[in-house]
Structure 1
């Protein structure tokens, strides 16, 4: 008989609470971003998240 898979509460508690999104970039831009991430011992996800956090924490532009 096959065992049914049960959720491991410890594994569930440690799961990342992040959500997925999709981003379309020009091929040259994506390649350059991936290379830069490698050079900086980082990842595209880390770079994008850092840039977004910086943008969201900056003062809003005033309407003119």
Structure 2
């Protein structure tokens, strides 16, 4: 049996200000999603952008 995509996920932690985390949780509720999904989508979009050249 093949592993589901979610089985390949790993935990990490972030330190956010109380105000930022509260706003993020509220937005997740408003958009009927999770903080984890929002963060993952933002990171994936960031990683798709090209790197700046020095």
The two structures have a TM-score, normalised by structure 1, of 0.74
Question: Quick check: 1:19 aligned with 2:10?
Answer: yes
- What is the total number of aligned residue pairs between the two structures? 52
Q: CA deviation at 1:33?
A: 0.1
What runs of 5+ residues in structure 1 fail to find an aligned partner? 1-9
Question: Which structure has more helix as a fraction of its residues?
Answer: 2
Structure 2 residue matching 1:16: 3-state secondary structure:
helix
Coordinate RMSD, CA, aligned: 1.5
Higher RCO (C-alpha 8 Å, min separation 6): 2
Structure 1 segments, 4+ long, off by >6 Å, are: none
Structure 2 residue matching 1:25: 3-state secondary structure:
coil
Question: Could you tell me which of 14, 38, 52 is aligned with 1:47?
Answer: 38
Q: CA deviation at 1:36?
A: 0.2
Q: CA deviation at 1:40?
A: 0.5
